[in-house]
Amino acid sequence: MKRLKKFLAFAVIGVMVFSLAACGGGGEEENTGEVNVYMWSDYMSQDVVDKFTEETGIKVNFSYMSTSEEAAAKITSGGGEQYDLVMPCDADMTSLIEGGYLEEINLDNIPNFENLGDAYKYREFDPENKYAIPYFMNYVYVIYNKDTCPVEITSYEDLLDPQLKGQIASVTGPRNLFPIALVSLGYDPNSTNDKEIEEAYEWLQDYVPNVAGFDSDSAEKLLINGAASVGFVFDGQATRAFDAMDNLEVADLSDPIQLGVDEFVIPKGAKNKENAEKFLNFLLDAENMAENLQDDNFYSCPNEAAVELMPDSYKKHPAINIPQKMKENYFLQLDVGDAMKTYDKYWTMLMSEEQ
């Protein structure tokens, strides 16, 4: 899923067509005393990272993506040459695993894996827990300023109201936006039908004029500074907006909301695989993850042991503790295979029109 954040400059990728050889050979690991990570920005506590370096001597080097599609592109174009950990969303996992783009993770080196909830183990795309470690979950929903939003929002269709022109702070990326158009049109949010995707593109042509800014890292800033009255955002962004403002509300949507999971994977040919596994185990420690969550990272978290340690300010936060009916009325991003070419084509067209 950003997620799933957290996240979201647009780089459009093609379908994963690179051969396994293009991903870098297996080879022997060249442990350099560092771990190179490609993920969302503003998605991990620097204090927690510094603690890891202090305890292990391993330096963590970060590079940041702006869309989930960029993460998949890095992995399929030889990501192991540059990175030891990359954060794709769960929607890309089937293609990445079947394409042979990932190293197997040695869970013997990650005993804190047991802290994850059972729902995040033995999943359909990774039934033996060989390839992916879930980090944060992301609900994507609508929030609004009760004082300045000019319309009532109960469905995605309401986001097309002309009164909202230039008023929406929005996450970006084709797999975040096409699903709400498809849902609004009565289609499967993971449709692979060319005609349905084209109709969703036409729906989004009416959405774009209402957007004040696309940003999957910090869309909430547009709400906080008053440039937008509505946000279509990740739950972690919503928490920051709620913390800065006292006049926000989560829209009571009749439509299903998206739930995604951001995964850590080790790309094929990673040079510091052992260090990557040490870092993953460190992050999965309940106390470390709880500290990570409390440091401006109020996202939904699959680490149940960490959540148990969290204060009520997290457990009862209005952006995390959304109505149960919303949590139960959700859809997941699924791998759409070759249809991603169609999504990318229309996304490129949409963004060129937006300029």
Alpha carbons 123 and 347: distance in angstroms, whole number: 29
DSSP secondary structure of 239-278 = HHHHHH-SSEEE---SS-EEEEEEEEB-BTT-TTHHHHHH
- Strand 133-145 relative to strand 257-264, pairing: antiparallel
Q: Are residues 35 and 119 in the same domain?
A: yes
Q: Are residues 187 and 336 in the same domain?
A: yes
Report pLDDT for 31: 53
Domain that holds residue 123: 20-137+261-320
- CATH number, residue 78: 3.40.190.10
Q: Are residues 297 and 158 in the same domain?
A: no
- Say whether 205 counts as a known binding-site residue: no
Report pLDDT for 353: 85
Enter the tokens of residue 95.
């293609």
For residue 255, the number of C-alpha atoms closer than 13 Å in the C-beta half-sphere is 25
Q: Which residues of the chain have pLDDT under 70?
A: 1-32, 296-297, 354-355
Report pLDDT for 4: 39
Q: Are residues 45 and 78 in the same domain?
A: yes
Give residues with Cβ within 8 angstroms of 313, minimum separation 6: none
Q: Are residues 180 and 310 in the same domain?
A: no
Q: Are residues 151 and 229 in the same domain?
A: yes
- In the chain, the number of structural domains is 2
- Please tell me whether residue 129 adopts helix, strand or coil conformation: coil
